[in-house]
A and B are shown apart, each in its own frame.
Chain A
Amino acid sequence: MRIEKTYRKLDHVEEVNIYDIKESELFQHVPQEFEMPFTPFEKTLNNLSNDLDIFIPYNDGEDFIVHRLGLSALVRGHIKQSDVAGRLLSKTSPGFFNILKEPLKEVYETRKTKKMRFYYHFHEKLARFSNVKIIYDMDKLILISDHRDNRETSLHVPDDGHGEKANLIEYFSLTGSYYKIKDRYTWTQGIYNIINRSREENDEYYNIIFDLVIPEDRPLVEKMLQVMDQKRSNYESVVRIRTDDGVLKYIEISIYSKFDENGEIINRYGLIKDVSTDSNRKMTRPVDFLLKGFKNSKKLALMIEPLSSKYHEFSEGFYNIIEIGPNDYHHNRKVLENIVEEDVQCKLKELADGKIDELETIFTYNVGGDENKQKIVEIYIERFEFGQTHSIGFLTDITEEQNKQKELIEANEHQKILIKEVHHRVKNNLQVLNSFLNLEKRAYKNKPNVIIDHMQSRLSSLAILHEKTYNTTDFKNINLKEYIIDQDSQLRSLIGLRDGIEFVSDVDENITLTIEVITPLLLVIDELTMNAIKHAFPDKSMPDKKIFKQITKLNNEKGQLILKDNGVGIEDPTKITKNLGCEIIKNLTKQLDGKIELIQHEHGTGYKLTFPLDMEHTIEG
């Protein structure tokens, strides 16, 4: 067995070429020396797409005890797990020990994950290879390798973040790239989508694209290579290839070369794009499936720029969001000008210029430059280097969501104001009741029953207000008639039944008032009613005692209340000014911006109150 090591800078991996390894070196039957703990999920581990070998360092990393080997290693050696577990690697597999002792020891000592690539050669011919990752974990060394006999095994998937992103894009793409360094090729996934086959082991030794060029176009390739060798740094051409499964495709090839001072080629890389669709030939492209997924979406767009802005791929949603058709859209900065936020414009320019790598933000977009037609758009776009500059991004029209959110915030704010307002009204009305009580106490020191009667009535009126406004958020349009019906019902049960008085009301059902008007109005009606109860019917045995009220709309601004009784009437109207009830009425009328006057009629007393239907009032404060 012969081992040769190289270090591949491009992928940051250590490559090991193993020549002429013998079967006997791979596995030898030796007795078990160490008791091995049970490995959890053994079955699951065997079903993984990658092989998982576990070694336990022995003698300070000079040797390694085999804990378990991956399934493909066992299959190759025609052995079972029990044939290798608990044996020293040096004894049971001198071949692997030779290959692995140094990297395993290095990882054991440095605790740093190591990436490697093994090439197994038999009779100078490459037979197999595997990508390997060695990880130190909890005093164990775990070796993960992808050496399955599967055509889909990824041969050149660099494990750094950029490589994964590039492959993610190219997995759906019909644009790919290759690098040629020292007569070896590195092909990206997009190439395989173009040639309709999976990766194969020896692909890096051939130009897998040029080999498929149809005979008629071969002169073009010859010319291209000839020109490229003449110190020309780039060349573009379109050729036709026939894939292994017989499909004819049109391929656009761009080749770039780098030369050293002596004119020798350092490296060469090419960009390959399947332009068959562009040539209107029937074709199914994987990237189309992906873009098609976004086709019906008017608010979400996928943007892919696999290799250069020249080949950008935007889903239908992109054109829907910016409201410019695909034919009218040019990959220029005109769209950028429609973005309202200047800082976002700057960031996008910085992204295009390579000053920043990603951008995630929300901006306002003026459709067609029209400020009156704005959309709120969320953008996520990422840029990264993988040979060429790539970018992938999503654009989402979030106008509706933003508006809904705004509405919710506003509704929430409105609710907060309402709650504040209700609290304020409750406290204010408690103060009004407290003040009523103080006034009553002064006026009727020795008549607690009178105070209780009066206070009960006022309390009922204010309670009606709270009850009626409890389930409404509208304090501006309160229907008066409903309140008067309730007030009458309360008066009837408090006083009417006891004193034999009937309450009759006639209220215009179209009168709606603000809470600022209805509160003092109900209190005035209360006072006038209590006055009538107190003074109009001195003889409790009087028949047909009635208190009648009529509330009408005089015009759009003013309403009128007439409250009259069929009692004994007032002999001397001048006396009423000295009464507390009348003082309360006078003050409440002032609060109402109203006007009250006494009406003398044949039977009993009446009052006429005119009041504004609306009244300006500060809402908060």
Chain B
Amino acid sequence: MNERILIVEDEAITALDLKYSLEELGYEIVDTVDTGQDAIDTAAETVPDVVLMDIKLKGDMEGIEAAEVISELRIPIIYLTANTDTDTFEKSNVKGSYGFVSKPYDINKLDKTLKITINRAKLEEKKINDASGFTE
């Protein structure tokens, strides 16, 4: 089964390119949204393997704020942003964040980050399930 990605990106052209590039690499794009609220709603509805999150979004909710809500659903988040200053990095380094990829992105690096994140998230999920005695 292909890994499922939710793209949260307010730049239409970047979002379109990301969609095509990731599909070419074999990922399934569950949706592309451009606001924090849509990101939360779509993540809850589609439960993707990873949310690729821009920090600056359309509307008044920032990506970090949306990510905090999404992380409650135990969905890993990778930030994809042009804001690479220390403040933003520290602000985004919260629960649920697995990576920080700077724009303009290198698709190969993004691919590796996605794979590592998905593996890590699966391992963590397994640990939690093992600890609670839950088996699939």
Contact = CB atoms under 8 A, between A and B. Distances in A.
A591 interface: yes
A432 B60 contact: no
A412 to B, nearest CB: 16
Classify the interface of chain A: helix, strand, loop or mixed. helix
Contacts of B85: 420
Contacts of A591: 10-12, 34, 58
Nearest to B19: A587
Interface in A576-601: 583-584, 587-588, 590-591
A621 B63 contact: yes
Contacts of A584: 12-13, 16
A439 B16 contact: yes
A621 B16 contact: no
Nearest to B32: A587
B12 A590 contact: yes
Nearest to B83: A424
A432 B14 CA distance: 5
A434 interface: yes
A435 interface: yes
B44 to A, nearest CB: 21
Nearest to B11: A432
A428 B103 contact: yes
A621 B20 contact: no
Given A427-B104, A621-B55, A588 B13 contact: yes
Interface in B63-114: 63-64, 81-85, 88, 91, 102-105
B18 to A, nearest CB: 7
B59 interface: yes
Nearest to B62: A621
Contacts of A425: 82
Contact of B62 (A428, A439, A618): A618
B82 A424 contact: yes
Nearest to B102: A427
Interface residues of B, number: 33
B57 interface: yes
Contact of B82 (A427, A436, A523): A427
Of the listed residues B11, B13, B21, B62, the one surrounded by the most CB atoms of chain A closer than 10 A to its CB is: B13
Contact of B20 (A423, A439, A617): A439
A185 to B, nearest CB: 71
Contacts of A516: 58
A520 B62 CA distance: 20
B15 to A, nearest CB: 7
A58 B10 CA distance: 92
Contact of B16 (A423, A583, A618): A583
A225 interface: no
In which size bucket is the chain A interface? 20 to 34
Given A430-B104, A618-B57, A618-B59, A587 B82 contact: no
A333 interface: no
A617 B88 CA distance: 17
A617 B12 contact: no
B130 interface: no
B62 A431 contact: no
A616 B91 CA distance: 22
Contacts of B82: 423-425, 427-428, 431
B4 interface: no
Contact of A616 (B13, B56, B58, B83): B58
A620 interface: yes
A373 interface: no
Contacts of B16: 435, 439, 583-584, 587
Contacts of B91: 621
A616 B58 CA distance: 7
A453 B74 CA distance: 46
A588 B12 CA distance: 5
A617 B17 contact: no
A439 to B, nearest CB: 6
B25 interface: no
A5 B85 CA distance: 77
A494 interface: no
B61 interface: yes
A282 interface: no
Contact of A617 (B58, B63, B64, B104): B58
A438 interface: yes
Contacts of A431: 11, 14, 82, 103-105
A516 B60 CA distance: 13
A257 B36 CA distance: 84
A588 B17 CA distance: 13
A442 interface: yes
A615 interface: yes
B14 A435 contact: yes
A424 B56 contact: yes
B58 A430 contact: no
Interface in A604-621: 615-618, 620-621
Contacts of B10: 591, 617
Interface in A410-447: 420, 423-425, 427-428, 430-432, 434-436, 438-439, 442
Contacts of B61: 618
A591 B35 CA distance: 10
Contacts of A427: 82, 84, 102-104
B21 A438 contact: yes
A621 B56 contact: yes
Best-buried of B10, B17, B18, B85 by chain A (most CB within 10 Å)? B17
Interface in B26-59: 34, 55-59
18 contacts: A420-B83, A424-B82, A425-B82, A427-B102, A428-B56, A431-B105, A434-B104, A435-B13, A438-B17, A523-B13, A587-B13, A587-B16, A617-B58, A617-B59, A618-B61, A620-B62, A620-B88, A621-B57
Given A591-B34, A591-B58, A618-B59, 12 more contacts: A420-B83, A428-B82, A428-B103, A430-B104, A435-B13, A436-B17, A584-B16, A587-B16, A591-B11, A618-B58, A621-B56, A621-B63
The 6 closest A-B pairs by CB, nearest first: A435-B17, A427-B82, A587-B12, A591-B12, A621-B62, A431-B103
